[in-house]
């Protein structure tokens, strides 16, 4: 091993194991954890905006599900491109594609939630909205079934 390589290795190892008695100022040794995002809070917020008596059939859930599906459905397994990562439908090329017509409603709807929880990525927000849409619709479906079933008994 050359002297330069040995020096860099020593530097690398010492940076991994900082000496507690070192005179180097603290900020170079401390590790700050990024604040944890509470996904359940974001989910609850999405769930709270689904019902809308003045929109379509009374719910934004279907269009949010379609947004999540269209964002993810561009994934190409052969070269790994596309997919929900990067939320590329924010940009004109994809937003203006005929297959994505109408999805601006869903993207705009989620914008205030993105502002409220800035640390969530657009791709995670859109995917989570799709999950919330399905779960909340299933919950509603189950409550209706239970109601109908119990009224028949």
Q: Which is nearer to ligand HEM, 7 or 58 (CB)?
A: 58
Query: CB 65 → ligand HEM: shortest distance, Å?
Result: 4
Distance CA 20, CA 71 (A): 48
In this structure, what is the dihedral angle of CA atoms 94, 99, 105, 108, given to the nearest 10 degrees? Answer: -20
Residue 62: strand, helix, or coil: helix
Q: Which is nearer to ligand HEM, 18 or 82 (CB)?
A: 82
Query: CB 62 → ligand HEM: shortest distance, Å?
Result: 3
Query: CB 48 → ligand HEM: shortest distance, Å?
Result: 19
Distance CA 108, CA 99 (A): 17
For residue 31, what are the contacts with CB-CB under 8 A and spacing of at least 6? none
Closest by alpha carbon to 140, among 61, 66, 65? 61
Q: Which is nearer to ligand HEM, 63 or 89 (CB)?
A: 63
Contact 87/123 with Cβ under 8 angstroms?
A: yes
Query: CB 133 → ligand HEM: shortest distance, Å?
Result: 8
Q: Which is nearer to ligand HEM, 37 or 105 (CB)?
A: 105
- Contact residues: ligand HEM, CB under 6 A: 62-63, 65-66, 69, 102
């Amino acid at each position: 091993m050359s002297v330069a390589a040995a020096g860099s290795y020593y530097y690398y190892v010492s940076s991994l194991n900082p000496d507690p008695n070192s005179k180097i100022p603290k900020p170079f040794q401390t590790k700050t954890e990024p604040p944890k995002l509470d996904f359940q809070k974001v989910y609850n917020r999405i769930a709270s905006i689904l019902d809308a008596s003045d929109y379509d059939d009374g719910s934004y859930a279907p269009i949010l599900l379609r947004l999540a599906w269209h964002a993810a459905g561009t994934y190409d397994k052969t070269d790994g491109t596309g997919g929900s990562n990067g939320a590329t439908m924010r940009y004109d090329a994809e937003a203006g594609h005929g297959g994505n017509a109408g999805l601006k409603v869903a993207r705009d709807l989620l914008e205030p939630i993105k502002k409220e929880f800035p640390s969530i990525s657009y791709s995670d927000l859109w995917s989570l909205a799709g999950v919330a849409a399905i779960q909340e619709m299933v919950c509603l479906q189950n409550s209706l079934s239970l109601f109908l079933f119990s009224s028949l008994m």
